[in-house]
Chains A and B, each alone.
Chain A
């Protein structure tokens, strides 16, 4: 089944404890992206990647890192999480970076930073 998977689905952590949220897609998509969803703000893009070893900042990149060493994986790294990073995170992918391509979303990771 074609899908985007994220792990973990739920995570509660404490300020300053490094964490990684994994994202994997099995559709051979070139483009991958991370968004965060907050009440009243919709979804905002954190980082994106147009292909292996090619990443760039989105609208809200502060406090996050990403890497794209393999085509299928695009982990999101929080080196020193803070409470304002408590949010619902979505990974997405599309075949190309064309603006007409449909993006496929993962199920989401709900992160709470205490």
Chain B
């Protein structure tokens, strides 16, 4: 079946530190991979996505590369800011299911301190 495993949180970093949040997946077909971000009290917003192997998604200084050989899609940012404090969700959508149904990881809470 389809599943996503992501790094347990919470993660606390100082401003300007390097961020990595690990995400690995299991899929029966050919998934698209996503990172969504949820700021306090808000809904989820797409942060970045990659739709095929070796694609790199990037947005707002965040990056993730779709690695089929390791079934991973780790999120990275070189220098985090206080405003990056949020919960980050890794997700996949498997085109083999015939529908755009998202399977989410459990989320990783990031807190950035000044």
Contacts and interface: CB of A to CB of B under 8 A. Distances in A.
Nearest to B98: A97
Given A99-B31, A99-B95, A33 B106 contact: no
7 contacts: A31-B99, A33-B101, A42-B89, A44-B104, A97-B98, A102-B34, A102-B49
Contact of B95 (A58, A98, A105): A98
Nearest to B100: A97
Contacts of B43: 4, 90, 105-108
A35 B93 CA distance: 14
A50 interface: yes
Interface of B: 4, 30-32, 34, 36, 42-46, 49, 51, 89, 91, 93-95, 97-107
Contacts of B36: 105
Contacts of A43: 44, 89, 91, 102, 104
A55 to B, nearest CB: 11
